[in-house]
Structure 1
């Protein structure tokens, strides 16, 4: 029987056997871990999803692991010198592969006991401190260390012995079949590794389904979990690598001084930006809805001097609280989400939505409001796993994912999923249902029609230009859908109890020869709702200011780490600023349009921005040293806070309250 199977798989028999053994180990380990955590699995109703989605992750992982050995075996294995030497090397590769998979699963229970997740970046970060790690293992984990040594030895010994049989007496293909077999291996391997026909390959967000991070991690395998975390570290760039140095204490002192908070009001050295923020509205807490508009820069908004594409938003800007000088923090959707949902400062790294250390226990408005009894949800016409949104949201306070798979009927489906009109219909249905419960709600609604390839249904708008699928027409259609939503919302039961903000995530495209194209960071933002008086706000504002302002408007007194201004309060002109990250360049602009820009490995450069011409010109004289130092402190603060976990969610805040003197500022590390 074994001989027949070996003949059937031919030259790929060693790969097939290794694949099967690793798959069995991963599956049995996941099943054992799920039984161990049975109560949490049952609470998440996750048995079938953990096992089925876990199988998908395992197949993808093993395709990544074995595709190159399979390809080279197909092309090289044989009875000649090259063929025999390759088979010897293949044995080493297969033994190492089996050992890696087994070892990672054996190490998993201890890691879960310590961190409540599968092995991640911490697992290999500690390897740079071998003396300390071995000392820790020897003093406190002797049993686990012994098990690891025994299992590793058995795995290596048995795998080496068995691999000799796997690579002997193979049925070799004739030379003219090898290229075709190689193409088949590549096709199957790449397809299995991607595990999807979508824009992005399989990732943890695609299989996440629970608000419990451990349950989502059980769906993975530990080899995949650790390697994915390692890959994500490439995104974790740090401002300290690029900008001039500054003492940690000065970073924190200047960051605090740039807020509206009095020095004595900060609550903790362990979380330096944590402070109490009283709400300006003191009535019954209201619902909060953030309508995040995809790629809608000010140049597409008539009320802000742009193209005549947004009559409905223009009308809202006259009816509500309109910000005429609002600037985004970046040029990507996840950076906009970072700003309006977490209030976190931009850094040269990718948004915290995609970074590993912020996937659990990171502060978000959703986490805060959920702790106050709010229902928290994300409404999106596409797949919420895109850009890792789903994993980040589920790990940080969002409990309800209303994305594309939850849409029953649609008027139009584009490349990015449900059209904006369908999105708003869905949102209105959700808000209507939620308003019938005696529970406030927070909803982040994210549009997508104003994104390439600009799909939208015909007959809704009179096109601004030709052909129909242009950026301008998509923006006009999205505005039409927004107007239809507000017609319904104003007639709804939830209208009088809800504060809405319409804000863009970023401009559609930022380009040009400027170090930071400031004109392309200007975005629309307007707050509307019952009791919101019409107002044209000419102050210089940042996306970071929205979340604190909205919490104040809905009546939530809170302790939180956000450094944005509560715009319901007076903001002195000398504290008005816009913060912009353009790839590795950081810009800080004051109310007089003086600009400081930090580039990698360069000192501060001074400019003047001219809004009328959108020019950014070198300043006749450097901006004051005080402004340069304040800008630098804020450029470094985000990386300092991320690397040292200084921006925790509600669980972290509770720990800080119980140990207010922990972790003095002087002891913090930047990297």
Structure 2
């Protein structure tokens, strides 16, 4: 079979990949960071099982190469098939170019990427169709380019794995996944850390030489393209190999069971480890971050959160007054940075309603979001715990039956709902909230007549709020209080919304429009709510899930974590300002204090109005874990690193000092060990309690 003989491009690329991975294992084994000796059996497993893993991973990863090779043909350019295929390509190109394709709904650069890809495919197919005289030369050039891309990826991956090992002493993990998210930061770090030009020059040179050798020795494949019968046989063989690979890869991963961690890592395939990290999205705290003994960590935590039990966060919250069982509506607003509001210095009047509502509410002026993704915001007001390294608990497998704000309401005979205008399947919200006794209401349950506008993210906020009013009217008839958690969607790319609602056209697709429409929709919601019988007996909590962006000059630019928050209930809450430094995880425990709830708490969040509360805020990315306290930002990073920055206020505009959000972060040479240990205590104990299932309800 031409595709699988010893001089086919498929086989030579497989051999090349195996050679590079063999060399990589040798280099990593001899690396100074690999402080370990290997037994004969461990060495055998590293190279034999590693070899098999590399073979099966290549088979999976070469799917597109296989499809490219098997579809090489002259018959598809014959009349009329060639013209029909070319017409279909042209139609698809014009469809995307029209700006009305499904790719446009997603916003960002996706339409441009799609247009470029289809444009290139159309152009190349046209060349091969209309210039048959040069078809063989053009095909060979494309063949060489394809080989070069695969060779470059194989070499580049090996180099990347080396530098990752050089930094962390392991194969790819969730930090590598995180690097894809924070591309600008990573590229900047690489540019400053390594001799990029010489390094890339060497990689390029090796790739060109290797491509030349493989292309020269596989040129015969193009000159004797397999016929249809042979292609079917090739497809059958590859399908069997692909299926075996899917079964063998997880089996081989289970054989990484040595007590020697380095042996397991060397035996593994880096690409498969990346896939597992992407799917599992967790970082083991003790393995990658500074730590203390558990006893010391919990002892330090007890100084910050009094009355907790030994090696636990469990404590009794006791209120002397009678509990107040008012309805509660929690609205987490998509990407609402504090800097969008007038009080925080914005002069563009993007949030006139929220600006006015703030003066009628209990307003928390010094509040920080825990992270920079919606799942982090949802986690913070539901579980009230510090953000963990890796992925949010919302997206982890062990995310059910937790001690949540919803469970507290449920125990008081509240009806508990999570309302979302999009598809709750996104970001694992359905699995998380459904697994924690929330009734879920999302886009799938809207009737066509209830949708006036929608985009890829879901129905517009107005439609969601109208539906929420209808649901709450029904709930109020049941004779028991309700807790509804509403997540908004409109302030999200592509920033489209119904026309004629605000003075910024929807087709401008601007962040300003998204913010202003979000504010407008909230105004309409409260206009409707004020007319309902349950309004006077309801407490509204409005806060952002996270800021609109999180990039900055430092790992954790604190101005990118400052969010607005207000509690509004005209018959119950007096308008005032709370200027105390606090975290997003403190919002709901503070609300429970206002409602005089007494309960056994497993929350790290605290009632900020209690005398024993010590001001602090917790902020994080997927890998950098931070604590703000005493005008110092402490950051824990993988590799057991710790940095501290002095926070120096940069006054901007004429707004009140309580609403200033800009700070310089000056790296501290003399670190405060007490704050480092306190930061460790928050994150280490949370990781342990989650692992030991001590935060379950």
Once the two structures are superposed, the pairs formed by residues 230-245 of structure 1 within 5 Å of their partners are 234-245=280-291
Task: Check whether the contact 2:495–2:506 (CA below 8 A) recurs between aligned residues.
Answer: no
- Which residue of the other structure, out of 445, 459, 469, is the alignment partner of 2:500? 459
Q: Return the TM-score normalized by structure 1.
A: 0.61
Is this contact kept in 2: 1:278–1:552, CA < 8 A?
no
CA distance in 1, matches of 2:514, 2:236: 41
Alignment partner, residue 606 of structure 1: 644
Q: 1:112-170 CA deviation, whole Å, 9 max, x = no partner?
A: xxxxxxxxxxxxxxxxxxxxxxxxxxxxxxxxxxxxxxxxxxxxxxxxxxxxxxxxxxx
Partner of 2:695: 647
Partner of 1:356: 397
State whether structure 2 residue 268 is matched by structure 1 residue 251: no
Aligned length: 439
TM-score (structure 2 length as normaliser): 0.58
Deviation at 1:512, TM superposition (A): 1.8
Quick check: 2:419–2:440 contact (8 Å CA) kept in 1? yes
Report the more deviating stretch, 483-492 or 412-421: 483-492
Does the CA contact (< 8 Å) of 1:74 and 1:181 recur in 2? no
Q: Is the 8 A contact 1:596 1:623 kept in 2?
A: no
| Cα separation, 2, equivalents of 1:411 and 1:483 | 17
Cα distance between partner residues in 1 of 2:238 and 2:343: 53
Quote the Cα distance in structure 2 between the aligned partners of 1:623 and 1:321.
36
Alpha-carbon distance in 2 for matches of 1:472, 1:73: 44
- Secondary structure of 1:425's aligned partner: helix
Partner of 1:476: 516
Asked if 2 retains the 8 angstrom alpha-carbon contact of 1:290 and 1:443, the reply is: yes
- TM-superposed CA distance for 1:578, in Å, is 0.9
> Counterpart in 2 of 1:494?
534
Structure 2 SS opposite 1:250: helix
Alignment of 1:225-374 (within 5 A): 234-259=280-305, 261=306, 263=307, 266=308, 268-269=309-310, 272-279=312-319, 282-306=322-346, 307-358=348-399, 360-374=400-414
User: Following TM superposition, by how much is the alpha carbon of 1:178 offset from its aligned partner in structure 2, in angstroms?
Assistant: 6.5
Does residue 589 in structure 1 map to residue 633 in structure 2?
A: no
**Compared CA separation, residues 426 and 628, structure 1 to 2 (3 A):** same
Q: In structure 2, do the counterparts of structure 1 residues 589 and 185 end up closer, same or farther at CA, with 3 Å as the change threshold? A: farther
Query: For each residue in 1:471-496, what CA deviation from the matched residue of structure 2 results, as whole angstroms up to 9, or x when unmatched?
Result: 11111000000011111222221122
Q: What does 1:1-80 correspond to in 2, within 5 Å?
A: none
CA distance in 1, matches of 2:573, 2:326: 12
Contact 2:580–2:608 (CA<8 Å) still a contact in 1? no
What is the alpha-carbon distance in structure 2 between the residues aligned to residue 68 and residue 602 of structure 1?
37
Q: Which residue of 2 aligns with 1:91?
A: none
RMSD: 3.3
- Equivalent position of 2:673 in the other structure: 625
Q: Give a deviation string over 1:209-239, Cα, whole Å, max 9, x none.
A: xxxxxxxxxxxxxxxxxx9x97776312122
Structure-2 residue corresponding to 1:503: 543
The 1:491/1:641 distance shift into structure 2, 3 A limit, reads same
Tell me which structure has the larger Cα radius of gyration: 2
Give per-residue Cα distances to partners, 1:354-389, cap 9 Å, x unaligned. Answer: 11122x221211122212211111111100111001
Check 1:547–1:75 CA distance in 2 against 1; reply closer, same or farther (3 A cut).
same
Structure 2 CA distance for aligned equivalents of residues 470 and 540 of structure 1: 32
Any idea what SS the aligned residue of 1:319 has?
coil
Q: Which moved more, 1:472-481 or 1:610-619?
A: 610-619
Whole-angstrom CA distance in 2 between matches of 1:449 and 1:503 = 15
**Cα gap change, 1:236/1:437 in structure 2, threshold over 3 Å: closer, same or farther?**
same
Q: Contact (CA 8 Å) 2:323, 2:597: kept in 1 or not?
A: no
- The verdict on how the C-alpha distance between 1:471 and 1:247 changes in structure 2, with shifts beyond 3 A counting, is same
Q: Note closer, same or farther for the CA distance 1:542–1:280 as it changes in structure 2 (3 Å cut).
A: farther
Q: 1:631 to 1:432 in 2, by over 3 A?
A: same
CA distance in 2 between partners of 1:571 and 1:279 (Å): 14
d(CA) in 1 for partners of 2:529, 2:304: 37
Corresponding residue for residue 38 of structure 1? none
**SS of equivalent to 2:394:** coil
Contact 1:499/1:554 (<8 A) preserved? no
Aligned mates of 2:387, 2:302 — CA distance in 1: 16
Is the 8 Å Cα contact of residues 496 and 506 (structure 2) preserved in structure 1? no
Partner Cα separation in structure 2 for residue 498 and residue 593 of structure 1 = 36
What residue is the counterpart of 2:595 in the other structure? Answer: 554
Instruction: Name which of 386, 394, 401 aligns with 2:440.
Output: 401
Aligned 1:561-580 pairs, distance under 5 A: 561-570=602-611, 575-580=614-619
Inter-partner Cα distance in structure 2 for 1:322 and 1:183: 64
Deviation of the 1:555 alpha carbon: 3.7
Structure 2 unaligned regions, length at least 5 = 1-58, 71-224, 243-272, 652-661
Conservation of the 8 A alpha-carbon contact between 2:327 and 2:481: yes
Deviations 1:420-459 (A, max 9, x none): 0011111111111111111111111000000111110110
Cα deviations across residues 263-288 of structure 1 (Å, max 9, x unaligned)? 3xx3x547x11111134762441122
Assess, with a 3 A threshold, how the Cα gap between structure 1 residues 470 and 186 changes in structure 2: closer, same or farther.
farther
Q: 1:525 aligns with which of 565, 568, 578?
A: 565
Alpha-carbon distance between aligned partners in 2 of 1:601 and 1:66, rounded to the nearest angstrom? 32
From 208, 227, 234, give the equivalent of 1:175.
Answer: 227
Give 1:616 shift. Answer: 3.3
- State how far apart, in whole Å, the 2-side matches of 1:582 and 1:457 are: 34
Cα distance between partner residues in 1 of 2:297 and 2:66: 53
| Post-superposition offset of 1:72 | 7.2
Query: In 1, Cα distance between the equivalents of 2:401 and 2:415?
Result: 18
**CA deviation map 1:491-524 (0-9, x unaligned):** 2211222211101000111112212111000001
Q: C-alpha distance in 1, partners of 2:68/2:669?
A: 67
Contact residue 280 and residue 553 of structure 1 kept, 8 A: no
Structure 1 residue 388 corresponds to structure 2 residue 428: yes
